[in-house]
A and B are shown apart, each in its own frame.
Chain A
Amino acid sequence: MKKLNRRTKVLLLTILMTVILIAFYAFAVLIPESAVASSFLNAKLPPSWEHPFGTDALGRDLLMRTFKGMAVSMTVGIVASGISAVLAVFIGIAAATGSKRVDAVISWIIDLVMGIPHTVLIILISFALGRGLKGLLVGVAATHWCSLARLIRGEVLQLRSQQYVAVSRRLGKSSGWILVHHLLPHLVPQFFVGLVLMFPHAILHEASISFLGYGLPPEQPAIGIILAESMKYISAGMWWPAVFPGLTLVLIVLLVDRLGDNLRMVIDPYNAQE
């Protein structure tokens, strides 16, 4: 068999990771309610073959519950980072192509958003929207666009100084035409890499805030809520509800993080030769 080169390996790895993540998500979404039904006979069981993650205080299977929770958290993460990334593209382009004043205003807004600790800001936004899924989504989306917006602003500024853009302008193309045909195609890879790399942050913040008790109701167990419930039993020595769901969260976050890095390596032309 011919030895694969490094780029192909990275590409295959990226595809494999994507497939694993999608399969996990699909599996978790399809888990029926009955799999997490409570039964008091099975309450507080330590991990066994029947219940690999053990059961919680109400006798619900923690493996299924964790997977379901992960699906909820991943949905929030995907939607929030999607909104955030689109926002970042618009704001970044506006800052780079607008007047000096627009740029100054946007940089001031970024300073403002960065100036309040994210956790506090999300709490505030979540409170403003009446603590629920909506508050959580808007809160996470509103706090994560800053660094990507800065990146895109820099990218657009660099692109605009390229000769072909200048030529295009001399040829009488409107700035809208230049934006669509010259700038946006270059931003697509940035956008996707930014989106994937934003996702772990979003999901970690989502978990933190729902751990504090904001966001989703207890019937819809996001991963943070499962962990918050485990707090109550931790002093009694019940270790499994705290350890396994958290471990699952960390694994998923790591997987997405590596996926983002690999994606960047595949897309970035400067790395293509490595």
Chain B
Amino acid sequence: MKGTFGRLSRTFLSYGVRILSLLLAVSIISFVLVSASPIDPVQQYILGLGTAVSPEQRAEIEEYWGVNEPPVERYFTWLGELLKGNLGESALYRRPVADIISERFANSLALMFCAWLLAGVIGFALGCIMGIYQNQWPDKLIKKICYLLSSVPTFWLGLVFLLVFAVILKWFPIGFSSPIGILSEDVSIWQRLYHLALPAFTLSLMSFANIALHTRQKLIDVLNSEYVLFARARGEGKWTILRRHGLRNIMLPALTLQFASFAELFGGSVMAENVFSYPGLGSAVAAAGLNSDVPLLLGVTLFSALFVCVGNMIANLLYGVVDPQIREVSR
């Protein structure tokens, strides 16, 4: 018992160190990249104010922001504030970055979670069908669709859906996370889901191919095994075999793969949110880059890295649970 506990805590400790080192590196690299940019944030900030600024005022702003300090010093000031939970103030939205991230992440999380779930369920079901009808027409057809979808850019699929379902058929709203003209407290969960449906569906279509093809391969491996041959000899049908022998073996690897795909999920949500003007982190980061909102850009980058790290960590832990061989090695 003590051994198990010790191993677990050691695993968590090593993951913790790894995540922290990665996040630190991300913070350094993103800071260096942003500092190297030829785009002058002070100029952009002044343009955003919309009023004329005298040279003295400009010098004051530069003084306040610490633009003229050496980069290393600036980095440590920023990192110090970051550790205190202060991510700075967004030049674009004139609000603390931490507030914007937490508010928009709630929106993004709803979108990404729906898409993630949908992609997982659709992908898994299609993967099972492909595996069972291996090399027959359903398998070939779905495989074609999977390959086709991986060549289609997310944003274009979103555009086409917007065109077909929102503009021509008018089944879904054109954008945003809630109806216009209604206070945010009055928006019901159904209205939110209604606005979420199209972007989430687009996003899930982009990511189910991977999981479907993976599940297909796993299921075919299982179906070629001797215990399935024996089960068949006992007279079990296709679906009984799938339920009794297949699902248990392929469920957890599929789940692991899903957790490991957080990076693509986030990248896809950036595109989907921009097409559907959905107010999430993805549209925030694109706007931040375009409007030279450095604090917001840095904040979202760090946050997305954290998000991906957590997904990868869950996937790694699940690997250990799924595969006793890996567990043995890590001991």
- A interface vs B, CB < 8 Å? 108, 111-112, 114-121, 123-131, 200, 204, 207-208, 211-214, 224, 227, 230-231, 234-235, 237, 239, 242-243, 246, 249-250, 253-254, 257
- A254: B residues at CB distance < 8 A: 148, 151
Q: Quick one: given A231-B159, A235-B167, are A116 and B305 in contact (CB under 8 Å)?
A: yes
* Cα A242 to Cα B285 with chains together (Å): 24
With A and B bound together, what is the CA distance between A120 and B39 in angstroms?
18
A residues less than 8 Å from B286 (CB atoms): 123, 212-213
Q: Are B154 and A116 in contact (CB under 8 A)?
A: no
Q: Bound state CA distance, A211 and B274, in angstroms? A: 9
Provide 30 A-B residue pairs closer than 8 Å at the C-beta atoms, listed in order of the A residue.
Answer: A115-B26, A116-B26, A116-B308, A117-B304, A119-B266, A119-B267, A119-B282, A120-B270, A120-B285, A121-B301, A123-B270, A123-B289, A124-B33, A124-B301, A127-B292, A128-B33, A128-B37, A131-B39, A208-B153, A213-B286, A227-B159, A230-B159, A234-B167, A235-B174, A237-B168, A243-B163, A246-B156, A249-B156, A250-B153, A250-B156
A249 touches B153 (CB 8 A): yes
B155 within 8 A of A: yes
B309 contact set on A, CB distance < 8 A: 115
- B162 touches A (CB below 8 Å): yes
Which residues of the partner chain A approach B274 to less than 8 Å between Cβ atoms? 211-212
Known contacts: A112-B26, A120-B266, A246-B153. The answer to whether A128 contacts B34 by CB under 8 A is: yes
User: Across the interface, which residues of A come within 8 angstroms of B160, CB to CB?
Assistant: 242-243, 246
For the complex, what is the distance from the CA of A115 to the CA of B174, rounded to whole Å? 32
Bound-state CA distance A214–B286 (Å) is: 9
- Interface positions, chain B 259-286, Cβ under 8 Å from A, are 263-264, 266-267, 270-271, 274-275, 282, 285-286
Q: A224 vs B25: C-alpha distance in the bound complex, in angstroms? A: 31
Question: At the interface, yes or no: B180 with Cβ under 8 Å from chain A?
Answer: no
Given contacts A114-B263, A116-B305, A119-B271, contact A239 B151 (CB under 8 A): no
Chain B nearest CB, measured from A142 CB (Å)? 10
| A126–B147 alpha-carbon span in the complex (Å) | 29
Q: Which 3 A-B pairs have the closest CB atoms?
A: A128-B33, A246-B156, A119-B267
A231 and B151 in contact (CB under 8 A), knowing A125-B33, A214-B290? no
Q: How far is the CB of A105 from chain B (nearest CB, A)?
A: 11
Q: Which residues of chain A have C-beta atoms less than 8 A from B167's C-beta?
A: 234-235, 237, 239
B residues in contact with A207, CB < 8 Å: 153, 155-156
With both beta carbons as reference points, the residue of chain B lying nearest to A261 in the complex is identified as: B147
**A220 smallest CB distance to B (angstroms):** 18
A231 to B304, CA, bound (A): 27
Q: With A119-B271, A124-B289 given, is the CB distance from A208 to B155 under 8 Å? A: yes
Out of A117, A208, A230, A253, which one reaches B266, CB within 8 Å? Answer: A117
Contacts of B50 in A (CB 8 A): none
Contacting residues, chain A, for B282 (C-beta < 8 A): 119
Q: With an 8 A cutoff between CB atoms, is B182 at the interface? A: no
CA A262 – CA B273 in complex, angstroms? 36
Closest Cβ–Cβ distance, residue B159 to chain A (whole Å): 5
A237 to B164, CA, bound (A): 10
Hey, which bits of chain B sit against chain A, CB under 8 A? 21-22, 25-26, 29-30, 33-34, 36-39, 147-148, 151-156, 159-160, 162-163, 167-168, 174, 263-264, 266-267, 270-271, 274-275, 282, 285-286, 289-290, 292, 297, 300-301, 304-305, 308-309, 312
Give the shortest distance, in Å, between B264 (CB) and chain A (any CB). Answer: 8
Whether the pair A239, B163 counts as a contact (CB closer than 8 A) is: yes
A117–B263 CB distance below 8 A: yes
Tell whether, in the assembled complex, residue A117 and residue B297 are in contact, meaning their CB atoms are under 8 Å apart. no
Q: Are A124 and B308 in contact (CB under 8 A)?
A: no
Return chain A residues, CB-CB under 8 Å to B151: 200, 204, 250, 253-254, 257
Distance (Å) between the CB of A177 and the closest chain B CB?
36
Determine the distance from Cα of A121 to Cα of B159 in the docked complex, in whole angstroms: 23
Task: Report whether B289 and A214 are in contact in the complex, using a CB–CB cutoff of 8 Å.
Answer: yes
Q: Which residues of B contact A224 (CB under 8 A)?
A: 155
Per the bound structure, the CA–CA distance linking A215 and B182 in Å amounts to: 37
| In the complex, chain A residues whose CB is within 8 Å of the CB of B312 | 115
Does A227 lie within 8 Å of B156, measured CB to CB?
yes
**Which residues from chain B contact A213 at a C-beta distance below 8 Å?**
286, 290
Contact residues in A for B270 (Cβ distance below 8 Å): 117, 119-120, 123, 212
**Which residue on B lies nearest to A120, using beta carbons?**
B304
User: Closest approach, in angstroms, between the C-beta of B233 and any C-beta of chain A?
Assistant: 31
A112: contacting residue among B22, B38, B292, B301, CB under 8 A: B22
- B172 CB, nearest partner CB in chain A, Å: 13
Given A120-B285, A123-B289, A235-B167, A208 and B154 contact (CB-CB distance below 8 Å): yes
Does the CB pair A234–B30 fall under 8 Å? no
What CA separation (Å) do A246 and B163 show in the bound complex? Answer: 13
Closest Cβ–Cβ distance, residue A124 to chain B (whole Å): 5
Smallest CB gap from B311: residue in A: A115
Q: With contacts A112-B26, A214-B289, A250-B151 known, is A127 near B39, CB below 8 A?
A: yes
Q: Which residues of A contact B266 (CB under 8 A)?
A: 117, 119-120
Given known A115-B305, A214-B289, A227-B156, contact A120–B26 (CB-CB < 8 A): no
**Contact between A115 and B263, CB atoms less than 8 A apart:** yes
**Among B148, B159, B271, residue most surrounded by chain A Cβ atoms (within 10 Å):** B159
Q: Please determine whether A127 and B297 come into contact, CB atoms closer than 8 angstroms.
A: yes
The answer to whether A234 touches B159 (Cβ under 8 A) is: yes
* Known contacts A115-B305, A120-B267, A237-B167: A227-B300 contact under CB 8 Å: no
Rounded to whole Å, the gap between the CB of B311 and the closest CB of chain A is 10
- Is there contact, CB below 8 Å, between B34 and A127? yes
